[in-house]
């Protein structure tokens, strides 16, 4: 049988068939990639994915069919590929790549790792594992018609974390709880509410009015009076939302009235908030029932559209709220005592609940309501995805893989796929890879960062969860204070330092200028953290990384000498006379939508839908827009699971 081997040199064909490669992710890009790998002649392939197959995958993940819904992606992908290519040797893992079983030794088994991921946490982790194991990594991502492929090799190129990424969009707690001004605030609130009622309760996801809102600052006497008043309020304050809801038997009407009437009336008593804002208007279930649903909006001038694109009226959403609460109540009951539901945008009652609750809150706060279709985009961070883009990107991944296997790392490129040919008539734009950022807090020889925080307020627990795990992407950090004694602050051994968790840093002698040595043994990664004590961080900001300016464009990447004259000079100048030289274009790289930020990509998609698009201001659209800058940011390709918060 003749495979692509025909067009490859013999030595390359041999290394293709003998090497072992790892594919991380068996989703949109992963399916295409597996197909391409076996057709190219790769024989030893391992694939890992923790996800199961959903109906919404079937429009592009061609290794899966309807009958596979609910099954392991990795496993089914393997079986489908074997049907066509029985001679391939594929190992499938239905697991998270962040599981400690997949340690540096595991990564060292491979000649090459290829990411086909959809979230930043896993990308960060695989990046570190490949740096630690010194294995080349091919990164990739797609969003709608756009896509990108790049190569990461320790010491030679930028790593995935060399350039700061835009931070996740977060909203201050009091905006969510007290003064929402945009639909997204109400949608975030509704997702919190879902967890508070049916899922895992999280103290950071409060939904009731926030009396500590600095903007509302009352004089102390008033505050005391109010505290008394809220106690009379049927003890709602001291019981958790879930316990309260349970005590009512999840009575939808009672929940409705608490959320949209009583809590709003309470907010109205914080009158300072409404001096300049339009005050919210409480909704009473009984009154809503009397309403003739006067304004029923439709998304399209021409009417119709998808059922999901219709905007219901207040009464319609009240009914949807009621129905979804009842459905979720029985789902919860079926799961038994102490069970929790997990929010999923593709679970209809969960999506109905968020749509209804968010819209009712939008109405209360005088915002224009949104269709289920639009709410789903925003609540689920949905990035549109099609087979074609994934197929193109998977093809490019294999080509980079072939260059790596031939030992031609200097020929590797970052390649961008544009929506339409750029002014130079190129649809695919290759760019030279940048050398590592010497200040990178991941791949520098002695990584170091400086963090501003309040040592009297920051708990060891939040140092671990919010700073080390969430911000710096560690899985199981060990922390030692550089105080000459080597005090262990956090141990990755279970239970060893639990007693420290609820203490604040200053209790361990940590003060301005203290240094922490943080190790993650799984990632074989050591980070030195310099702490700066700071008392005047903004409310809801627990810490700040010094020099981290995610909203600014990263510094202009260096252009290797060889490429400089081409980039700066005229494109038509004679190139070296081998056909393999690439005209490098530095200046017209597109913006790829950022990972976890729902606004840009989903908004762009929605704009393309041509409906009554309530576009956020200043949304940067991807593609050949007027603003062009480089963001070393790979888009989510698939069903992301990242929460908005």
Partner 1 sequence: MAQSAAGKSNKEQKYDRQLRLWGDHGQEALENAHVCLINATATGTEILKNLVLPGIGAFTIVDGHKVTGEDVGNNFFLSISSIGKNRAQAATELLQELNSDVSGNFVEESPDKLLDNDPEFFHRFSLVIGVQLIESTCLRLAGVLWNAGVPFLVCKTYGLVGYMRLAVKEHTVVESHPDNALEDLRLDQPFAELKNHIQSYDLDNMDKKDHSHTPWIIVVAKYLEKWYNEHNYQLPKNYKEKEAFRQLIREGILKNENGVAEDEENFEEAIKNVNTALNPTKIPSTVQDILNAEGWKNITAQTPAFWVMARAVKEFVENEGEGKLPVRGTIPDMIADSEKFINLQNVYREKAMQDASVVSKHVESLLQSVGKVCVYKSKKKCKNAAFLRVVRCRSLADECSVELVNKDEITSCMDNPDSEMVLYLMLRSVDRFFQQHSRYPGVYNYQVEEDIGKLKLCVNSLLQEYGLNVNVKDDYIHEFCRYGANAIKMITHQFVPFNNTFIYNAMSQTSATFQL
For 515, the enclosing helix (H) or strand (E) is strand 515-520
Q: Considering only residues 94, 406, 623, 641, which one is a binding residue for partner 1 as defined by CB under 8 A?
A: 623
473 is in an annotated binding site: no
Q: How far is the CB of 567 from partner 1 (least distance, A)?
A: 15
57 is in an annotated binding site: yes
85 is catalytic: no
Q: Considering only residues 539, 550, 625, 628, which one is a binding residue for partner 1 as defined by CB under 8 A?
A: 625
Q: Considering only residues 409, 459, 488, 616, which one is a binding residue for partner 1 as defined by CB under 8 A?
A: 616
Q: How far is the CB of 48 from partner 1 (least distance, A)?
A: 21
- Give dist(CA 221, CA 237) in Å, integer: 19
Site for partner 1 in 27-46 (CB under 8 A): 35, 38-39
- Give dist(CA 124, CA 117) in Å, integer: 11
Site for partner 1 in 475-514 (CB under 8 A): none
- Give dist(CA 289, CA 279) in Å, integer: 23
Candidates 174, 186, 412, 431; catalytic one: 174
Q: Considering only residues 148, 157, 178, 602, which one is a binding residue for partner 1 as defined by CB under 8 A?
A: 602
Site for partner 1 in 280-299 (CB under 8 A): 295, 297
Q: Considering only residues 239, 342, 427, 556, which one is a binding residue for partner 1 as defined by CB under 8 A?
A: 427
Q: How far is the CB of 344 from partner 1 (least distance, A)?
A: 12
Q: How far is the CB of 283 from partner 1 (least distance, A)?
A: 13
- Give the list of residues 6+ apart from residue 464 with CB closer than 8 angstroms, or none: 477, 479, 490, 501
Residue 420 has which token pair? 């339409």
Site for partner 1 in 428-447 (CB under 8 A): 428, 430
Q: Considering only residues 377, 462, 492, 514, which one is a binding residue for partner 1 as defined by CB under 8 A?
A: 377
For 481, the enclosing helix (H) or strand (E) is strand 477-481
629 scored as a contact of partner 1 (CB under 8 A) = no
Stretch that binds partner 1, among 153-161, 331-339, 560-568, 581-589 (CB under 8 A): 581-589
x/- site string to partner 1, residues 379 to 418, per CB under 8 A?
---xxxxxxxx-xx--xx--x-------------x-x---
User: Distance from CA of residue 348 to its chain's centroid?
Assistant: 22
Stretch that binds partner 1, among 12-20, 196-204, 232-240, 426-434 (CB under 8 A): 426-434
- Judged by beta carbon, residue 8 or residue 455, the one nearer partner 1 is 8
What is the 8-class DSSP label of residue 92? E
For residue 338, which phi and psi values (nearest 5 degrees)? 75, 5
8 A C-beta contact, residue 583 and residue 567: no
- Judged by beta carbon, residue 463 or residue 644, the one nearer partner 1 is 644
Secondary structure class of 89 (helix, strand, coil): strand
Q: Considering only residues 95, 613, 642, 645, which one is a binding residue for partner 1 as defined by CB under 8 A?
A: 613
What is the pairing mode between strands 428-432 and 477-481? unpaired
3-state SS, 545-614, equals: ECCCCCCCCCCCCCCCHHHHHHHHCCCCCCCCCCCCCCCCCCCCCCCCCCCCCHHHHHHHHHHHHCCCCC
Q: Considering only residues 6, 70, 249, 513, which one is a binding residue for partner 1 as defined by CB under 8 A?
A: 6
Q: Considering only residues 56, 167, 491, 506, which one is a binding residue for partner 1 as defined by CB under 8 A?
A: 56
421 scored as a contact of partner 1 (CB under 8 A) = yes
626 scored as a contact of partner 1 (CB under 8 A) = yes
366 scored as a contact of partner 1 (CB under 8 A) = yes
- Judged by beta carbon, residue 213 or residue 520, the one nearer partner 1 is 213
Q: How many residues bind partner 1 (CB under 8 A)?
A: 92
Q: Considering only residues 284, 346, 483, 524, which one is a binding residue for partner 1 as defined by CB under 8 A?
A: 346
255 is in an annotated binding site: no
8 A C-beta contact, residue 162 and residue 149: no
- Give dist(CA 196, CA 201) in Å, integer: 5
Q: Tokens 């596979």 correspond to what residue?
A: 68
Stretch that binds partner 1, among 160-168, 185-193, 478-486, 602-610 (CB under 8 A): 602-610
- Give dist(CA 533, CA 513) in Å, integer: 7
156 scored as a contact of partner 1 (CB under 8 A) = no
8 A C-beta contact, residue 31 and residue 74: no
Q: How far is the CB of 7 from partner 1 (least distance, A)?
A: 5
Give the DSSP letter string of 472-507. T--SSEEEEE-SSS--EEE-SSTTTTGGGTTSBGGG
28 is in an annotated binding site: yes
- Give dist(CA 317, CA 189) in Å, integer: 16
What is the pairing mode between strands 413-417 and 44-48? unpaired
Q: Which residues of 507-545 are buried (b: 16+ CB within 10 A; e: fewer)?
A: ebebeeebebebbbebbebebebbbbbbeeeeeeebbeb
- Annotated catalytic residues are 174
Annotated binding site for ATP: 25-30, 49, 57-60, 73, 96-97, 118-123
């Amino acid at each position: 049988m003749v495979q692509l081997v025909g067009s490859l040199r013999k030595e390359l064909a041999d290394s293709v068939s003998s090497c072992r490669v790892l594919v991380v992710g068996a989703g949109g890009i992963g399916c295409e990639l597996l197909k391409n790998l076996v057709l190219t002649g790769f024989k030893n392939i391992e694939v890992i994915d923790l996800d199961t197959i959903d109906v919404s995958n079937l429009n592009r993940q061609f290794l899966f069919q309807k009958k596979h819904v609910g099954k392991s992606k990795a496993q089914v992908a393997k079986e489908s590929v074997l049907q066509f290519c029985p001679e391939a040797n594929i190992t499938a893992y239905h697991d998270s790549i962040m599981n400690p079983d997949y340690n540096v030794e595991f990564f060292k088994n491979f000649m090459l790792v290829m990411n086909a991921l959809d979230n930043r946490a896993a990308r960060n982790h695989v990046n570190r594992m490949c740096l630690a194991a010194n294995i080349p990594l091919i990164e990739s991502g797609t969003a709608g018609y756009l896509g990108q492929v790049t190569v990461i090799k320790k010491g030679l190129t930028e790593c995935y974390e060399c350039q700061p990424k835009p931070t996740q969009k977060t909203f201050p707690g009091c905006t969510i709880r007290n003064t929402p001004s945009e639909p997204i605030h109400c949608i975030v609130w509704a997702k919190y509410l879902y967890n508070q009622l049916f899922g895992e309760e999280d103290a950071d996801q409060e939904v009731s009015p926030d009396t500590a809102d600095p903007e509302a600052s009352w004089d102390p006497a008033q505050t005391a009076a109010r505290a008394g008043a809220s106690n009379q309020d049927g003890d709602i304050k001291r019981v958790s939302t879930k316990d309260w809801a349970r005590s009512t038997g999840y009575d939808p009407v009672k929940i409705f009235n608490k959320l949209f009437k009583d809590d709003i009336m309470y907010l109205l008593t914080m009158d300072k908030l409404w001096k300049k804002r339009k005050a919210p208007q409480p909704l009473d279930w009984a009154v809503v029932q009397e309403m003739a649903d006067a304004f029923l909006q439709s998304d399209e001038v021409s009417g119709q559209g998808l059922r999901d694109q219709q905007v219901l009226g207040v009464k319609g959403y009240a009914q949807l709220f009621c129905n979804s609460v009842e459905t979720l109540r029985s789902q919860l009951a079926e799961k038994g005592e102490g069970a929790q539901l997990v929010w999923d945008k593709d679970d209809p009652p969960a999506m109905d609940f968020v749509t209804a609750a968010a819209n009712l809150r939008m109405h209360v706060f005088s915002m224009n309501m949104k269709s289920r279709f639009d709410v789903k985009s925003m609540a689920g961070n949905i990035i549109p995805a099609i087979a074609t883009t994934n197929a193109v990107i998977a093809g490019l991944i294999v080509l980079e893989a072939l260059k790596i296997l031939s030992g031609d790392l200097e020929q590797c490129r970052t390649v961008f796929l544009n929506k339409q040919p750029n002014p130079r008539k190129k649809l695919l734009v290759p760019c030279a890879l940048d050398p590592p950022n010497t200040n990178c807090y991941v791949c520098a020889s002695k990584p170091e960062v400086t963090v501003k925080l309040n040592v009297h307020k920051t708990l060891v627990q939040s140092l671990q969860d919010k700073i080390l795990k969430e911000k710096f992407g560690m899985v199981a950090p060990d922390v030692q204070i550089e105080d000459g004694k080597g005090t262990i602050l956090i141990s990755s051994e279970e239970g060893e330092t639990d007693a420290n968790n609820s203490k604040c840093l200053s209790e361990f002698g940590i003060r301005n200028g203290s240094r922490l040595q943080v190790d993650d043994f799984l990632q074989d990664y050591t980070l030195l953290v310099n702490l700066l004590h700071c008392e005047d961080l903004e409310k809801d900001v627990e810490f700040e990384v010094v020099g981290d300016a995610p909203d600014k464009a990263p510094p202009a990447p260096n252009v290797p000498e060889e490429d400089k004259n081409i980039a700066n000079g005229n494109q038509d100048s004679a190139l070296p006379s081998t056909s393999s030289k690439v005209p490098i274009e530095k200046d017209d790289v597109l913006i790829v939508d950022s990972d976890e930020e729902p606004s840009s990509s989903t908004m762009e998609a929605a704009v393309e839908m041509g409906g009554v698009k309530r576009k956020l201001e200043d949304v940067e659209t991807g593609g050949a827009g007027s603003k062009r800058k480089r963001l070393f940011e790979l888009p989510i390709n698939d069903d992301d699971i990242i929460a908005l918060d």
